[in-house]
Amino acid sequence: MKTLPTASKSVLTLILAMSFPTVAANHDHDHVSGDLTINGKPATEQTIQVNKALSKQLNWEDRDAFERNKKGLIVPLDEASANIMRNSYDFIDQDNIADSVNPSLYRQAQVNNTAAGLYQVSDDIYQVRGTDLSNITFIKGKTGWIVYDVLLTKQAAEISTKFFLENVPKGGDLPIVAMIYSHSHADHFGGARAIAEMFPNVKVYGPHNMTKETVDENVLAGNAMSRRAAYQYGATLGAHEHGIVDAGLGKSMSTYSPEYGAGEITYVKPDYTFNSDGKFETYAVDGVEMIFIDTAGTEAPAGMATFIPSMNALWTGEMMYHGMHNIYTLRGAKVRDSLKWSKDINEMINAWGTDIDVLFGSHSSPIWGNDEVLDFMKLQRDNYGFVHNQTLRLANNGVVIQDIGDALIETIPTSIQQAWHTNGYHGSYSHNAKAVYNMYLGYFDMNPANLNPLPTQQEANKFVDYMGGSDVIVKKAQADFNKGEYRFVATVLDKVVKADPENKDARKLLADTYEQLGYQSETMGWRNTYLTGAQELRIGTQPGNPKTASADVLSEMSIENLLDFMAVKVDSTIAQHTPFTMNVIVPDQNEVFFVEMSNGNLNNGLVKHPVENADATLTINKSDVTQMLLGKVDLPQLMADKTVSLKGDKTVLAKLKAASIEFNPTFEIVPRPAKGQEVDANLYH
């Protein structure tokens, strides 16, 4: 290949900066399961007793969720359709609960294990469940099928749609004429390209700001979110009673199939979006009247639910499922508004409550019968309202952020506690309470000691020194471990391993502690975080971090968002010495941006005309950026035919390149062992 001149290489760096690791607003789900076999250490007697004590508080007589999973089954999944999920959960026993799993989470795993096949929800509404984390729904329209939420990957959507059309009792020869996204998370739009390729005339709908929020939500902190998501979703754990047992919202992700290979997240931009001018919008999709309610700011920054009057059916998207969702997601995202969440559910009750015969959504089985639906909705409404209101009641009485989770748990009403579908399988009461506190009051609790603590490494060194050294602390920690006092053992040993990373006894005991805390966790994200922490303490970071967002998704990113992201990658200690100015002209968008590197910061702003005295001017079409991301054209071609031009000071882009860094996608979270310092490696094969 011909060598590009320096300026051209710099332009290439500029454009390819778009291809960054991110989970692309992925609903906290996207992960690649590891290939390791995890033996794990057994549950301690203390963990067994904690889980048994919890089990006695649970309403085991309520089997409604299992019965709902059976209702309407037309045909179970065939082997090819089931194999789209890489993980196998055959180890989940319907009669016995493993000692190494919280009994409530195990029960959720049992429920989700029984949902697999084509189901009839009601007349003209069908769902395929069990091929992905989410459900794919098919609604009969006037001329064809309306598909609502299209799973995580192109492969899962194609397999599921073919399975539906081959097995639906009537209408299998009809086309899919409309595709609707409920909200801006990948397991609800990721299969879109499969539908569009199978049915090129399909019309696409979504909530207001769908594309913007799909691309934007995880962009600026995308690398950190991807790394953290590997912990939350147990990306390297594999399915096992000592690893992943359930994804909370559903069984697993469509990450791989023998026939199709690795799953691909795709995106097709909506032709029309709803609720741009108000809370409700009535619209006929292929002759079916639907009423859309805007739910932005609850489970997703762009979202909606839908009532279908002719069918007395309420589609809730992800506003409601058989569990409690995240107000704050552990991988990282902007805190969600639990009060608005509660109020939006209440709006649905007030608008359609007496008319709803069936409630269905993108996770879990439907609820049938008006009384049952209203009971379900009111408990869901009150659970999110409870988290918001009681957290602020406690905070207004002086309970601080570190204590707020435990304090909130003590106040859970019996009716909420006894209802399975309010349990914290995806979002815990503890971290959701902290999210509410942080939304209103921030991270600081006003205690001066917490205002400006030392950086973590310096704090760990002083902590260990004050307590008499690593050996003294490990001895005390072992005694507390033997008593099952794992939470403080984790706190203290984390500082020991930071201060003394070669202390194998401390490393082993901290990993064992995390493991037992994972075994006791009801929330799947807590379990996976603890168990991944144990794994990385023992043998280091393993392959299998979350997939990067596909070019299909990233191609929708705006030039402004690209420039904002580039600013995040600038190292101010270098950039402060290399100021410059540049126009970026985007002819096909009729946009001009003025970019300025000053005081170590990269600024950009939309301007009406190019700035005359700018050091350089770059001209590039957004369509060409998109084609590059899709792999359909490369920069040398664009420069050769003069589609891309760079005028003025050629060193400007070289300065930008020199000041820009690449993120480490596997940065350290827990102190990893050096080579040769691994412990208990026999547990992982």
pLDDT digits (tens, 9 = 90+) for 307-335: 999 999 999 999 999 999 999 999 998 89
**264, pLDDT greater than 80:** yes
Q: Find the range with the poorest average confidence among 46-60, 71-85, 272-286.
A: 71-85
Query: Counting beta carbons within 10 angstroms of the beta carbon of residue 306, is it exposed (0 to 12), middle (13 to 18) or buried (19 or more)?
Result: buried
Residue 533 has pLDDT above 90, yes or no: yes
> Phi/psi of residue 558, each to 5°?
-75, 160
Of the candidates 115, 11, 136, 25, the one whose C-alpha atom is nearest the C-alpha of residue 69 is 115
| 388 confidence band (pLDDT: 50, 70, 90) | very high
The pLDDT value given to residue 34? 45
Residue 1 CB burial class (10 angstroms; 0-12, 13-18, ≥19): exposed
Predicted pLDDT at 547: 60
Structure confidence at residue 548 (pLDDT): 55
pLDDT per residue over 82-127, tens digit each? 766 656 788 998 888 999 999 999 999 999 999 999 999 999 999 9
Residue 35 pLDDT more than 70?
Answer: no
Query: For the residues 342-364, what does the mean pLDDT come to?
Result: 97
Q: How many CB atoms lie within 10 A of CB 452?
A: 7
Confirm whether 584 is domain-assigned: yes
Instruction: Report pLDDT digits (tens) over 417-446.
Output: 999 999 999 999 999 999 999 999 999 999
Share of the chain above pLDDT 90, in %: 78
Count CB neighbours of 353 within 10 A. Answer: 15
Secondary structure of residue 454 in the 3-state scheme: coil
pLDDT band at 2 (very low <50, low <70, confident <90, very high): very low
Which of 668, 590, 540 shows the shortest CA–CA distance to 36?
540
Mean pLDDT of the region 601-623? 96
pLDDT of residue 25: 42
Per-residue pLDDT, 546:
62
* Residue numbers of the domain that contains 654: 1-17+569-685
In a domain, 77, yes or no: no
User: By the 8 A CB rule, do 18 and 378 touch?
Assistant: no
Asked whether the predicted pLDDT for residue 81 surpasses 90, the reply is: no
Tell me if residue 416 falls in helix, strand or coil.
helix
For the residues 280-309, what does the mean pLDDT come to?
A: 97
Average pLDDT over residues 661-671: 94
- pLDDT for the residue 412: 96
Instruction: Concatenate the DSSP letters of all residues of 120-153 into one string.
Output: EEETTEEEEESSSSS-EEEEE-SSSEEEE---SS
When pLDDT is averaged across residues 42-69 and rounded to a whole number, the result is 96
Which of 297, 314, 322, 134 lies closest to 207 in space, CA to CA?
297
pLDDT, one tens digit per residue, over 440-466 is: 999 999 999 999 999 999 999 999 999
CA distance 509 to 490: 9
Average pLDDT for residues 120-142, to the nearest whole number? 96
Residue 387 has pLDDT above 50, yes or no: yes
Place of tokens 């979270």: 669
Instruction: Find residue 359's DSSP bridge partners.
Output: 314, 367
Residue 502 is predicted with a pLDDT of 96
Rounded to an integer, the average pLDDT of 635-661 is 89
Answer yes or no: is pLDDT of 38 > 60: yes
Residue 330 lies in a domain: no
**Distance between CA atoms of 314 and 366, rounded to whole angstroms?**
10
Rounded Cα–Cα distance for residues 430 and 410 (Å): 11
What is the overall mean pLDDT for the chain?
90
Residue 441 lies in a domain: no
Q: Is residue 631 part of a domain?
A: yes
pLDDT value for 632: 82
pLDDT (mean) for 357-385 = 97
Look at residue 263 and tell me whether its pLDDT is greater than 60: yes
SS3 (DSSP) at 314 = strand
Assigned domain for 649 exists: yes
What's the average model confidence in pLDDT over 280-284? 98
Question: Is residue 352 over pLDDT 80?
Answer: yes
Query: Is the pLDDT score of 79 beyond 90?
Result: no
Residues in the chain: 685
User: Average pLDDT, stretch 64-85?
Assistant: 86
State how many domains the chain has.
1
Any domain includes 241: no
Task: Kindly state the helix (H) or strand (E) to which residue 159 belongs, with its residue range.
Answer: helix 154-167
Give the domain CATH number at 588. Answer: 3.30.1050.10
Asked if residue 29 has pLDDT above 70, the reply is no
pLDDT of 204 higher than 90: yes
Question: 36 or 225: which carries more pLDDT confidence?
Answer: 225
For the segment 276-286, the average pLDDT, to the nearest whole number, is 95
Summarize the confidence of residues 179-203 as an average pLDDT: 96
pLDDT of residue 374: 98
Is 615 in contact with 597 (CB distance < 8 Å)?
no
* 226 lies in some domain: no
